[in-house]
């Protein structure tokens, strides 16, 4: 079964309970029409029977829709612009859409990069590479002019906003302001710039927008404040555009991937460079309060998490294809294992349980900041699962004095 099967049945159960409970309250109220009250009194068990029948009807409709999906729209003749195709989701999506017969416009930062050359070699003549830094309005405008000249009177069927960066790891207090600005500049303002520029072409074709976001924009993942804040802004923008563009016939979707190995995530040198830059730029007093070992542990946890990420990008790519070709696309798509379950937990369980769940599935900090260790008077690992011998413990305590 597919990864989202379990969450689907969980959601189905929740819907059934809510509908049943609501109907029970309605039937128990004094606002019903006299004929219904009369019928209920005559039939005795009618209210319960009506509730059961309504629940069964809901189940039948949902199961029918699930087992009889509408046929996908044809892909041939449709033009799609995809940002951030140097590597990762963007590059794989460009290759996949090209194989389906789309006319693909793929933006890259460097036309001479290995990723750009790989796309040129492996794709058809329908694919066009465009050099675009989405944070530069002049680049975006040049791309728009190029796309318009190639499409002629035709509109652009879809825009896939994939380009994004995650330039930080660590507590919000430790994250540099340049990291917050860098994430917002690419993930939010860059995406907004591309979207606004190409909307006239999308409105012309009554097409759609697919934004690749992240669960970090909805969930408080530890040590991802800068990235999560930029994706939260993107998620709200996407929801707003969905309502505003509905009269134009332009449909807007969000794709929320789970953990996949893309970009610099598997590059060990990248993590080390980010770590060294952070240590150099932090104010000495702040570094003293947190401790270099605390910062180093965070870096090691991120590297470990990235090394376990799924290298198979197909779940995300096929989700993007569904969002592009579905006659009635969903507002949100979960791509990859565990995402539906995570959103269910965050939506229906208490906040403290949801937070614990996030800490279990993401970076599992064991060290407390150094200042807190001093206050407690002991060398503290949060889980107290330290196997150091007594001599090592004494040595650490001496260092803290």
Beta strands at 79-82 and 158-161: parallel, antiparallel or unpaired: parallel
Q: What is the CATH number of the domain that holds 127?
A: 3.40.50.720
Cα 113 from Cα 132, distance rounded (Å)? 13
Classify 241 as helix, strand or coil.
Answer: helix
pLDDT tens column, 138-192: 999 999 999 999 998 889 999 999 999 887 678 999 998 999 999 999 999 999 9
Question: What mean pLDDT do residues 55-69 have?
Answer: 64
62 and 86 together in one domain: no
Specify the number of domains making up the chain: 3
Last residue of a domain, one of 42, 67, 92: 67
DSSP string of 5-36?
A: HHHHHHHHHHHHHHHHHHHHHHHHSS-S-HHH
Give a yes or no: residue 341 inside a domain. Answer: yes
The residue segments making up the domain with residue 39 are 5-67
C-alpha span between 323 and 338 (Å, rounded):
20
SS3 content of the chain, % helix, strand, coil (to 5): 60, 10, 30
Q: Is the pLDDT of residue 87 over 50?
A: yes
pLDDT at residue 385 in the model: 44
- Domain membership of residue 210 (yes or no) is yes
Do 214 and 261 lie in one domain? The reply is yes
- Asked, for residue 186, whether it belongs to a domain, the answer is yes
Q: Is 46 found in the same domain as 102?
A: no
Q: Which residues contact 16 (CB under 8 A, 6 or more apart)?
A: 55, 58, 59
**118 and 265 part of one domain:** yes
Residues 12 and 146 in one domain: no
Is the predicted pLDDT of residue 34 greater than 60, yes or no? no
* pLDDT tens digits, one per residue of 238-291: 999 999 999 999 999 999 998 887 766 666 777 788 888 888 989 999 999 999
Q: Is residue 365 part of a domain?
A: no
- Sheet-wide strand order for 208-212: 128-131, 103-108, 79-82, 158-161, 208-212, 251-257, 332-335
CA distances from 356 to 308, 350, 360 (A): 20, 10, 6
Strand partners, 82: 106, 160
How many Å apart are CA 133 and CA 378, to the nearest integer? 50
Token pair in block for residue 160: 């896939």
Predicted local distance difference test score (pLDDT) of residue 50: 65
The verdict on residue 134 lying in a domain is: yes
Active site residues: 227
């Amino acid at each position: 079964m597919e990864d989202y099967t379990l969450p689907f049945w969980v959601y189905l159960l929740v819907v059934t309970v809510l509908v049943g409970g609501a109907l029970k309250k309605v039937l128990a109220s004094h606002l019903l029409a006299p004929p219904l009250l009369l019928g209920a009194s005559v039939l005795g068990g009618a209210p319960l029977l009506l509730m059961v029948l309504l629940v069964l009807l809901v189940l039948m409709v949902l199961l029918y829709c699930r087992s009889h999906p509408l046929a996908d729209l044809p892909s041939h003749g449709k033009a799609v612009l995809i940002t951030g195709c140097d590597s990762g989701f963007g590059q794989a999506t460009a290759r996949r859409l090209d194989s389906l017969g789309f006319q693909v416009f793929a933006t890259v930062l460097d036309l001479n990069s290995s990723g750009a050359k790989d796309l040129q070699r492996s794709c058809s003549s329908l694919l066009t590479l465009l050099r675009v830094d989405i944070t530069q309005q002049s680049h975006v405008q040049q791309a728009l002019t190029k796309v318009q000249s190639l499409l002629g009177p035709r509109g652009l069927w879809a825009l896939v906003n994939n380009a994004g960066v995650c330039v930080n790891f660590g507590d919000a207090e430790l994250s540099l302001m340049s990291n917050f600005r860098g994430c917002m500049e690419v993930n939010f303002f860059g995406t907004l710039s591309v979207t606004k520029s190409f909307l006239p072409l999308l409105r012309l074709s009554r097409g759609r927008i697919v934004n690749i976001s992240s669960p970090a924009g909805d969930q408080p993942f530890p040590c991802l404040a800068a990235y999560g804040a930029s994706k939260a802004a993107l998620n709200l923008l996407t929801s707003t555009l969905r309502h505003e563009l509905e009269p134009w016939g332009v449909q807007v979707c969000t794709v929320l991937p789970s953990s996949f190995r893309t970009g610099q995530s598997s590059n060990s040198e990248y993590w080390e460079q980010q770590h060294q830059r952070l240590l150099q730029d932090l104010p000495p007093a702040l570094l003293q309060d947190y401790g270099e070992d605390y910062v180093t542990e965070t870096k090691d946890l991120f590297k470990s998490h990235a090394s376990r990420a799924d290298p198979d990008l197909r779940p995300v790519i096929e989700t993007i294809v569904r969002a592009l070709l579905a006659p009635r696309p969903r507002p949100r798509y979960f791509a990859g294992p565990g995402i539906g379950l995570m959103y269910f937990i965050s939506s229906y369980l208490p906040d403290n349980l949801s937070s614990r769940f996030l800490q279990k599935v993401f970076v599992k900090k064991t060290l407390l900041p150094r200042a807190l260790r001093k206050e407690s008077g002991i060398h503290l690992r949060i889980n107290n699962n330290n196997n150091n011998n007594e001599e090592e413990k004494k040595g650490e305590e001496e260092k803290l004095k």
